[in-house]
Amino acid sequence: MATWTDPEPPQHPNRWPPNLHPTVAPVDLVADYYRALDTHDYDALQNVLDPGFVQHRPDRRFDSREAFVRFVRDDRPQSDTTHRVHTRYVPDAEADGTPDATEVLARGEVLSAEGDLLVRFVDRFRIVAGSIVELETFTR
């Protein structure tokens, strides 16, 4: 079990073809996801997501990588935000018995450009073969 806070997590180089990140630690892949959102790097965002990526959140669901990236790029209600992640957690063993999948939980806040708190969140990432295949978002 690993729980920690790291203000500037390491970034992996985007030298692999999309969705083939075999040597990237799952927490680094998650850090790259948030970095891509905050810097509006939609190519990098697409590269960390599996083509069959699905996101579940309280207000909507995205059933493909393309639909999610399109929403983030074109339709977000507020795009000038920063994700401040306080804690990442990787369970010791997979509860569902899937040996090739990894779950990463991230707890944090979304801040406006002015630094105001917009929402607190917990994201549950499911990572398979070096790419994010599922994201479930919980907010309050």
- pTM for this entry: 0.78
Considering the domain delimited by 23-139, tell me its CATH architecture. Roll (3.10)
Tens-digit pLDDT profile for the chain (140 aa)? 233 344 444 444 433 334 444 557 888 999 999 999 999 999 999 999 999 999 999 889 999 999 999 999 999 888 899 999 998 888 765 555 555 568 999 999 999 999 999 999 999 999 998 899 999 999 98
d(CA 71, CA 66): 9
**Alpha carbons within 13 A on the beta-carbon side of 87:** 12
Q: Where are the domains of the chain?
A: 23-139
